[in-house]
Amino acid sequence: MTKITDMYTELRFLRVLKLDGFRTKRTLCEEIGKLIHLKYLGLRESYVKRLPRPIINLRRLQTLDLFNSDTYVELPDEISKLKELRHLFGKFHGNWEIDSLTKLQSLKYVSSTRWISIDTEKLGNLRELWIYGFFGSLEFRLDSVAKLERLEQLLVKLDRYDCFKSLQPLT
């Protein structure tokens, strides 16, 4: 292979693609959508800032790991079409909808502002949830978390002076 774009054609039956730390031009090539058999896409600490729209062609994708401690990633609005997605990791922005991702088991690094807009009753399979952000001026309530009957792990990262009025909904 002489170019990275050739990889998408030659490895079209690839199931796992882990490019952690891969330095790119802040977005993936549109050709990523040709890897239709992909189940795992790992781009941790790769500084990808935007996923191209053809990512929605990866209908078998189960894990999407885009975590980067310094970078937020813009997901395409149609991310909800990835119905097999079970694990979503990363700091995201944009108008992405995950309510219809009913197989989602892990959602890590979701912002508190995004979390309050999610219909949590539709995420009945969620087992791991990590929420971060500023809670002081938001209508964030633990009632939304209490609805997640299968939840095994909850991490809520508060800002320095934030606190919860009550943990009662979790009992």
pLDDT, mean over the chain: 83
Classify 166 in phi/psi space as left (phi over 0), alpha (psi -120 to 50) or beta: beta
Q: What is the pLDDT of residues 43-53, one digit of tens each?
A: 999 888 888 89
Q: Give how far Cα 79 sits from Cα of 1, 108, 124, Å.
A: 30, 16, 18
Average pLDDT of the segment spanning 123-134: 88
What's the pLDDT at 70?
Answer: 83
Which residue type, as a one-letter code, is found at position 45? E
Radius of gyration of the chain (CA): 17
Span(s) in the chain for CATH 3.80.10.10: 1-93
How long, in residues, is the chain?
171
pLDDT over 90 at 101, yes or no: yes
Instruction: Show the DSSP H helices in the chain as ranges.
Output: 4-10, 112-115, 143-146
What's the pLDDT at 114?
Answer: 82
pLDDT over 70 at 136, yes or no: no
Q: What is the pLDDT of residues 3-54, one digit of tens each?
A: 555 666 778 899 999 988 887 666 788 888 999 999 999 999 988 888 889 9
- How many Å apart are CA 17 and CA 42, to the nearest integer? 6
CA neighbours closer than 13 Å in the CB half-sphere of residue 138 = 19
What's the pLDDT at 2?
Answer: 47
pLDDT over 70 at 57, yes or no: yes
Spatial contact of 143 and 168, defined as CB atoms under 8 Å apart:
no
Tokens of 18: 């882990």
What's the pLDDT at 139?
Answer: 59
Closest by CA to 170, choosing from 137, 132, 135, 129, is 129
What's the pLDDT at 138?
Answer: 55
Multiple choice CATH, 1-93, 3.40.50.10680, 3.80.10.10, 1.10.3720.10, 3.90.1150.10 = 3.80.10.10
pLDDT over 70 at 130, yes or no: yes
